[in-house]
Amino acid sequence: MRALTWIVVLTCFGSAAGSAQAAYDSDIASKLIALERVGKMQAWQNKDMKTLDTMFDDAFVYVDSQGRELSKSELIAYIQSFDSLQFIAEAMTVQLHGDTAIVTGLYRMKGTERKKAFARRGRFVDTWLYKNGQWVAIASLLTPDGN
């Protein structure tokens, strides 16, 4: 009987721990999706360099949909060069691996660059790292839509 009680207690404890972990992961996923929305939809569009500077790690690396590699400073300069920009991210999913998270989703970009209109769409893959108490982006790649 005592053994049975322990099994029930341990099962409940394990179940509760599992639920807590799932809730914790869900919270982080929600936070990262919010960061993607704030970072890409708002900071890019508004050229909010302060937010982008906070959001990107100093070693951040970016590969655009033409296969060009840009550093953090190069990307920030590139964002500033747009005359106008709209960036929409959707259908995002988050995979958590401890302090590392992979966010992937679909994007649509349109705007004008040197008075020339452009429109692009495709998939992005971003890597985030929990560092010094906050999530920072360490890598991002955009690829044209393959569907």
Residues in contact with other proteins by CB under 8 A are 57, 59, 61, 63-69, 95, 97-100, 102, 104, 122-123, 125, 127, 129, 131, 138-147
Calculate the alpha carbon distances from 110 to 28, 48, 85, 119, 120 in Å.
29, 18, 6, 4, 6
Amino acid at 45: Q
Task: Pick the closer one to other proteins by CB: 41 or 139.
Answer: 139
In whole angstroms, how close is the CB of 131 to other proteins at the nearest point? 7
In whole angstroms, how close is the CB of 99 to other proteins at the nearest point? 7
DSSP state of 60: E
Task: Pick the closer one to other proteins by CB: 8 or 59.
Answer: 59
In whole angstroms, how close is the CB of 58 to other proteins at the nearest point? 11
Contact 123, 145 (CB under 8 A): yes
In whole angstroms, how close is the CB of 133 to other proteins at the nearest point? 14
Contact 122, 145 (CB under 8 A): yes
DSSP state of 99: T
Contact 43, 35 (CB under 8 A): no
Task: Pick the closer one to other proteins by CB: 47 or 110.
Answer: 110
Task: Pick the closer one to other proteins by CB: 47 or 130.
Answer: 130
